[in-house]
Structure 1
Amino acid sequence: MTTIGTLYGLGVGPGDPELITVKAFRLLQQSPVIAYPKKRIGSKSYAHQIAELYVKPDAGKEMLGLVFPMTRDPEILEREWNNTVELVWERLSEGKDVAFVTEGDPMFYSTFIHMMRLMQEKHPEVPIVTVPGVSSFLGAASRFNLPLADGDEQIGIIPATEDREAMRRAIEAHDCVVFLKVAKVLPMIIGLLKEMNLADKAAVATKVTSAEEMVWTDVRELKRAELGYLTLMVVKKS
């Protein structure tokens, strides 16, 4: 009988190719199949770029690009996700290990989380192993040279939404707040910070640690800026 391959979820960091762990590097070298989120159009994802950097072209590996639909339609999501999981299962059922690379950490707001859950549901016999990676908010802390939490300080990591009062409560309840994917509500968050006299306690980074990184330490300059999806804000009150 063919031994079922292992599905690895590898965190490869927020953009800087050097922010990959030794373990993730080793598994990239060892796994015969490298799976990665594939964009339908446009540039390659950070995860794809980093995987290609560390995998030799003549190594005989399969680069398996997986398209994840950007939609809320439940029928489309179910169909496409099932197809994607079955593509990975085909390789695993042949006894091949599959290393799924993901930006940041595989267990933190990652595409891999849903892949893992669905694989466990449809093929519970598959061994699944995750390798932690450097998340974007940790990269931002390093870039800003800003301790996110010290001593008994409390930190909140919050997906930014249009719920203004919920965002206010998050700021009030924590010594430090990291707002993820903040670009879509940036004017509202900046206005809220001004009301709370905290505009000078915030910093913004987009594509942090990558070659395309941009950083702003005066967020008031950004009230009308149009930034990309991979943008976060750190608000440190103390």
Structure 2
Amino acid sequence: MEATAVKTGTLYGVGVGPGDPELITVKAFRLMKECAVIAYPRKRMGGKSYALEIVELYVNTNEKEMLGLVFPMTKDKAALDREWNKTVTLCYEHLKEGRDIVFVTEGDPNLYSTFIHMARLMQELHPEVPIRSVPGISSFLGAAARLGIHLADGDEQVAIVPATEDRDAMKKAIIEHDTVIFIKVAKVIDMMIDLLEELDLADKASVVTKVTSPQELIWRNVRELKGQELEYLTLMAVRK
């Protein structure tokens, strides 16, 4: 009698929101309960995974296979290729045995998320693996709620922009939109404050770190942040 082929497990990219565990969706909750394997971004040098902190209220780590995945913060292509291939291989070891994986990611899995590249590489190397994503509440939506601002009304335009050292590009984004959310702003905070002062918009900006989480910090006077080091998960909202 021929052995029945094992059906490949499904890889789910599940957005778990910006920090408050109550902001996960019912679907995210159900999948975390049903799936045998919970994968999460793991810091290489100690420290707790932010995404895991959000969901540990809902996950019994003694009953699940917990798969901590390291995503290298480097621009070295060889190192990136090596580590990303290793990550996909670790996941595939479970998927090929028919086990579904929920990969939890803060915010939404399809917006500036590590899941985007993982899904792309998994599809390239193992096209038989079904890949699904479950949307989550993004940090800019959490920030709007916590700051009490409207992102856009009527015909207004809103932009979500990764903050970079390209001052002209940052200035253009502010000028051309009614609201701009600058994510990953910590590394260029001084430049951004100078730019806002130049445009006479410093009073229209706020900065939030780890929005909606127990570690949340809010600054409504962004000038206070000159010269300060901020957490990676920091954004700036500019509402003209």
C-alpha distance in 2 between matches for 1:150 and 1:102: 29
CA drift at 1:133: 0.4
**Equivalent pair of 1:10/1:100 in contact (CA under 8 Å):** yes
Aligned to 2:114: 111
Tell me the distance in 2 between the aligned counterparts of 1:50 and 1:166: 33
Which residue in the other structure is 1:46 paired with?
Answer: 50
Determine the structure 2 residue equivalent to 1:33.
37
Q: CA deviation at 1:124?
A: 0.6
Contact 1:14 1:46 in 2 (8 A): no
Per-residue deviation, 1:52 = 2.3
Cα 1:74–1:196 shift into 2, 3 Å: same
Report the more deviating stretch, 222-231 or 148-157. Answer: 222-231
Q: How far apart, in 1, do the equivalents of 2:53 and 2:178 lie?
A: 35
Aligned pairs for 1:127-142 within 5 A: 127-142=130-145
2: distance between equivalents of 1:126 and 1:140?
A: 35
Equivalent residues in 2 for 1:128-167, closer than 5 Å: 128-167=131-170
Deviations along 1:30-68, whole A, 9 cap, x unmatched? 000000111112321221123322112443x10011111
Q: How many equivalent pairs are there? A: 236
Q: Secondary structure at the match of 1:152?
A: coil
In the other structure, the counterpart of 2:124 is: 121
Please tell me the residue identity of whatever aligns with 2:69: L
Deviates more, 1:40-49 or 1:118-127: 40-49
Distance in 2 of aligned mates of 1:43 and 1:211: 16
Question: Contact 1:38 / 1:44 at 8 angstroms: preserved in 2?
Answer: yes
Equivalent of 2:10 in 6, 10, 14: 6
How far, CA to CA, are the matches of 1:225 and 1:74 in structure 2?
Answer: 31
| One-letter code aligned to 2:222 | V
Inter-partner Cα distance in structure 2 for 1:166 and 1:94 = 47
TM-score, normalised to structure 1, is: 0.97
Counterpart position of 1:78: 81
Secondary structure of the corresponding residue to residue 54 of structure 1? coil
5+ long unaligned stretches in structure 2:
none
Q: What are the equivalent positions in structure 2 for 1:84-233 lying under 5 Å apart?
A: 84-233=87-236
Deviates more, 1:227-236 or 1:39-48: 39-48
CA distance in 1, matches of 2:70, 2:142: 26
Shift of 1:77: 0.6
Report the secondary structure of 1:53's partner residue: coil
Deviations 1:128-167 (A, max 9, x none): 1100001111110000010111111001110000011111
Instruction: String of CA shifts for 1:160-215, please: whole Å, max 9, x gaps.
Output: 00011111101011001000011111111111111111011000001111111100
The equivalent residue for 2:23 is 19
Unaligned runs of 5+ in 1: none
Inter-partner Cα distance in structure 2 for 1:8 and 1:132: 11
Tell me the SS of whatever aligns to 1:88. helix
